[in-house]
Structure 1
Amino acid sequence: MIKDISNLQVKLQTLIAGQQGFYSQGKVADYIPALAEVSAKKMGVCVTTIDGKTAGAGDYQEPFSIQSISKVFGLVMAMNRIGDDLWQRVNMEPSGQPFNSIIQLEWEKGIPRNPVINAGALLVADVLTSHFSASKLAFLSFMRKLAHDDTVFIDNHVYQSELAHGNRNAALAYLMKSFGNIQAEIPELLSHYFTQCSVAMSCEQLATSLLFLANKGVDPLTNTVICTPRDAHRVNAILSTSGMYDQSGQFAFSIGLPAKSGVGGGVIAIVPNYGVICTWSPPLNSFGNSVIGTNLVASLAEELGLSIYH
C-alpha cells in the first residue's frame, strides 16, 4: 500500500490516462433516459484513507447518480433499525440472475436472494418507509452525515426519469407484497427507492461516506459509531459475494475486495483497515458494471496489493 498520498496522486493520474481508449468497450445505461444524457467520456477515481487523506484524478469531484450504490447505505440503515429481523425477510446468498430478475423471486416465494439486487433493495426500502416517518429525508440526512457534506443532493431529473420507467421494480414490489413480504403501500415504497437511487455524489464524497466500512463500523473522521463491527463485517461480506451482480465471482477471484457498482457508472471498493476506492465512468459492460471503473479498481488492487485474500 502507498503511504505517501502524493505518490498515490501521481499513480491515479497515470491510471486515468491509461484508460482513455476504453470508452467504446461499454454502453451508457439508457433504460433510465436521464442516465443516457451523461457523457460517456466522464471518468474519475478517488482513494480516501481512514487517516483522512484523499487522492483523486479526473472528474472525481463531479457529482453523478449513485444508483445501486445507494443500496449499501439503505442496508446499513435497515440493520440499525430492525437488527437481525431483517434476515427473516431477505437472504444473503448470491443470485446468479440479472439484478432485476422476477423469475427467481417468484420461485423463492417473495424472499429476495440478497439485499443488493433490486428485489432485496426494495425490501430494505420497505423497512425504511415503514420505520421512518420521513424516510426520504432520513436517507438524505444519513448520506450528508457520512459524507460530511450538506451539498449532497437528490437529482430530481433522474428521479422523475426513474419514476416514469420503473415498471419492473414495481412488478418486483407487487410480487413480494403478494407473498406478504412488503408492508408499505407500493407507490410510497417506490418513491423512496427511486429517491435514494437518485442521490448525486462525487467519487470523493462517496469514498468519504464509506470509510466506516473500512474501519469496523466507525467513521474514522469523527469516531462516530455508524454500525456495529459485526454489521460492518456482514455488509462487506455481502458486497464481496453479490455487490457486482453476476460479475461478483469474477471480481472476487481477480480483484478480491468488497465492492458495489451502480448503473450510473460508479464503483466503490472497500479496503479494510486502509480506506475506500471510488471510480466513475458511465459506459457499462454486459453485467451492468462500469468497464473503466472496474479496470481502475483492478489496477489499484493489483499494484498496491489490496486484495483481502492476500
Structure 2
Amino acid sequence: MDSLAAIVADIAAEMAAAPDRGAVADYIPPLATVPLSHFGMAVVEADGTCHVAGDADQTFSIQSISKVFALTLALGAVGDQLWRRVGREPSGSAFNSIVQLETERGVPRNPFINAGAIVVSDMLLAGYAPREAIGEILRFVRALANDDAIFIDEAVALAEAGSGFRNIALANYIRAFGNLHHPVERTLGVYFHQCALAMTCRQLAHAGRYLMAGGINPATGRSVVSAQRARRINAVMMTCGHYDGSGEFAYRVGLPGKSGVGGGILAIAPGKASIAVWSPGLNARGNSQLGTLALERLVQRTGWSVFDPD
C-alpha cells in the first residue's frame, strides 16, 4: 500500500480534476457564493500525524457537523436522559423534514436531523443565557482541536436566522408538544450560531480525534466522554449522520460520519484516524458529492471500513 501521505495527495488530485461537483446550498446566501472548485482533506492518525491536501486550511461553515459536538456536550450535561427527548433511529427523511413529528408527538427521530439538533440546543440552554451556551460550544470545539482560531461566522448565523423558516416551523411544532423548554427564538439562536461554526479540515479532523480514540482527547490525555459513549456517538453517526443518505454512505464508505450542507464531512476510523473532507458541491441528499467520493476512495486504499475484518 502507498504511504498515507501519498494516498491523500492522490485523492486530492483526483478530486481537483472531477467534472461533476454537485451544487452549493444556495438557500443560505453566504454558502451560495462558495466556489465549487474547492476541495480539502485532512487525515489525523492515532499518533497525531496529520496529512493534508488541497484546501485543507481554508475555513468553511461546518453546519450540521456541529451537531456531533453539541450532542457530546449535551450528553455530558444530562446523560442518557437525553434519549427521552430525542430518538436514535434513522429518519429516512430529509434533514429538515417535519413529517414524523406529527406521528411521534414532537420527539425527533435522532439528534442529527434538524429537529433533533434543535432539541439538543434546548438542552444546552438549561441554566444559561443563549450567549453563554453559544460560548460554551465554541470553547468546547476549540479545546478539542487545540486551536483558538476557530470562530462562529456571524454573517452565516444571521443569514440562517433570516432564511430558516423550516427550522422555525420545526421548533414551534416541537414546542407545541412540550418538547422545547425555552422560547423558540432563544433555542434557535443557539442552534443557528452552532451551525455557523467556521473551521478548516485540519481543525475539524483534530476536533474529532476523541471519537477515534475511545473518548480520550489525544492532545491532552483527558477523557472527553467514556469509551462506551464514544462508541454510541459513532454508532449514531453511522446510522443517521447523512440523513436519508446514511445507508448509501455506510454502503460506500463504511465509517461513522457526519455531513454538513457547507460541504464538509467528519469521518471516524476508530483506533486509526479522524478524517475531514470539504467540497461545497452537494448531491441530491444534501451531502458533499466529492467529499463522499474522496472518503470512498480513501477506505478502498486503506481498508479502514468498520466492516473490514482487519
Q: TM-score, normalised by structure 1?
A: 0.96
**Mapping 1:230-269, distance limit 5 Å:** 230-269=228-267
In 2, are the aligned partners of 1:71 and 1:121 still within 8 Å (CA)?
Answer: yes
Q: CA deviation at 1:121?
A: 0.3
State the match for 1:201 in structure 2: 199
Query: For 2:38 and 2:154, how far apart are their aligned partners in 1?
Result: 21
Residue 53 of structure 2 corresponds to residue 57 of structure 1: yes
Residue 84 of structure 2 corresponds to residue 88 of structure 1: yes
State the match for 1:42 in structure 2: 38
- Residue among 104, 119, 125 paired with 2:115: 119
- Residue among 261, 272, 275 paired with 1:274: 272
State the match for 2:190 in structure 1: 192
Query: For 1:37 and 1:25, how far apart are their aligned partners in 2?
Result: 15
Stretches of 4+ aligned residues off by more than 4 angstroms:
none
Percent of pairs identical after alignment? 45
- Residue among 162, 180, 183 paired with 2:181: 183
Query: For 1:22 and 1:288, how far apart are their aligned partners in 2?
Result: 18
In 1, are the aligned partners of 2:63 and 2:196 still within 8 Å (CA)?
Answer: yes
Give me the CA root mean square deviation: 1.2
**Mapping 1:56-75, distance limit 5 Å:** 56-75=52-71
Query: For 1:88 and 1:37, how far apart are their aligned partners in 2?
Result: 40
**3-state SS, counterpart of residue 205 of structure 1:** helix
Query: For 1:69 and 1:290, how far apart are their aligned partners in 2?
Result: 12
Query: For 1:97 and 1:247, how far apart are their aligned partners in 2?
Result: 9
Query: For 2:90 and 2:249, how far apart are their aligned partners in 1?
Result: 13
**3-state SS, counterpart of residue 100 of structure 2:** helix
| Higher mean displacement: 23-32 or 48-57 | 23-32
Query: For 2:231 and 2:50, how far apart are their aligned partners in 1?
Result: 24
| Residues 302, 166 of structure 1: alpha-carbon distance in 2 compared, 3 angstrom cutoff | same
State the match for 1:17 in structure 2: 13
| Higher mean displacement: 63-72 or 14-23 | 14-23
Query: For 1:132 and 1:228, how far apart are their aligned partners in 2?
Result: 25
Q: CA deviation at 1:50?
A: 2.1
- Residue among 96, 115, 120 paired with 1:100: 96
Aligned residues: 306
**3-state SS, counterpart of residue 167 of structure 2:** helix
**3-state SS, counterpart of residue 200 of structure 1:** strand
**3-state SS, counterpart of residue 276 of structure 1:** strand
Q: CA deviation at 1:20?
A: 2.6
Residue 218 of structure 2 corresponds to residue 220 of structure 1: yes
Query: For 1:25 and 1:254, how far apart are their aligned partners in 2?
Result: 18
State the match for 2:23 in structure 1: 27
State the match for 1:162 in structure 2: 160
In 2, are the aligned partners of 1:208 and 1:276 still within 8 Å (CA)?
Answer: yes
**3-state SS, counterpart of residue 234 of structure 1:** helix
**3-state SS, counterpart of residue 255 of structure 2:** coil
| Higher mean displacement: 23-32 or 46-55 | 23-32
Letter in 2 for 1:244: H
Query: For 1:131 and 1:273, how far apart are their aligned partners in 2?
Result: 36
Query: For 1:185 and 1:23, how far apart are their aligned partners in 2?
Result: 46
Query: For 2:160 and 2:85, how far apart are their aligned partners in 1?
Result: 25
Query: For 2:21 and 2:253, how far apart are their aligned partners in 1?
Result: 20
| Higher mean displacement: 8-17 or 37-46 | 8-17
Query: For 1:109 and 1:250, how far apart are their aligned partners in 2?
Result: 28
In 1, are the aligned partners of 2:266 and 2:276 still within 8 Å (CA)?
Answer: yes
